[in-house]
């Protein structure tokens, strides 16, 4: 409980380096993942523009759980249930030396180099932080 602020406090890291995994959908209800700094929000307007969609909005919790296979609050971009879901990462995350990201269970974060997001997940950098 407490989201990224509490995770950052307990781990002794800056909340900016705690990355949240957000399940969103485009105007056709196709899911997509957005990786964002813990202390920032996603501009859905800027994200839609960056990915060539008419609109983007957060998925309803049931749809996010169905697509991801994870419980809300424990969504990891790794081992996502539905194959082929595009992953987008806030570009400024890639400049950090190390990040903490959900490992697939509520309260379970792993520390990794941000290059893993583009190398392993094929995450596409976007600028959509508020």
What is residue 36's predicted lDDT score, i.e. its pLDDT? 98
Q: Quote the percentage of the chain above a pLDDT of 90.
A: 82
Position with higher pLDDT, 79 vs 87: 87
Q: Which residue is listed with tokens 């523009």?
A: 49
pLDDT at 2 over 80: no
pLDDT digits (tens, 9 = 90+) for 15-74: 999 999 999 999 999 999 999 999 999 999 999 999 999 999 999 999 999 989 898 888
**Segments of 17-130 assigned E as strands:** 18-26, 31-37, 56-58, 87-90, 99-105, 108-112, 124-126
Tokens describing residue 47:
């994200």
Whether the pLDDT of residue 81 is over 80: the answer is: yes
Give me the chain's average pLDDT, please.
94
The structure's pTM equals 0.93
Rg of the chain taking only CA atoms, in angstroms = 13
């Amino acid at each position: 409980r407490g989201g990224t602020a509490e995770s950052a406090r307990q781990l002794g890291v800056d909340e900016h380096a705690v990355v949240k995994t957000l399940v969103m959908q485009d105007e056709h209800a196709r899911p997509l993942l957005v990786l964002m700094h813990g202390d920032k929000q996603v501009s859905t307007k800027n994200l839609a523009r960056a990915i060539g969609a008419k609109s983007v909005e957060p998925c309803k919790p049931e749809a996010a759980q169905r697509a991801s296979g994870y419980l809300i609050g424990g969504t990891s971009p790794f081992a996502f249930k539905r194959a082929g879901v595009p992953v987008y990462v806030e570009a400024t995350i890639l400049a950090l030396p190390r990040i903490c990201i959900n490992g697939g269970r509520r309260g379970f974060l792993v520390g990794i180099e941000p290059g893993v997001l583009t190398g392993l997940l094929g995450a596409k950098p976007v600028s959509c932080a508020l």
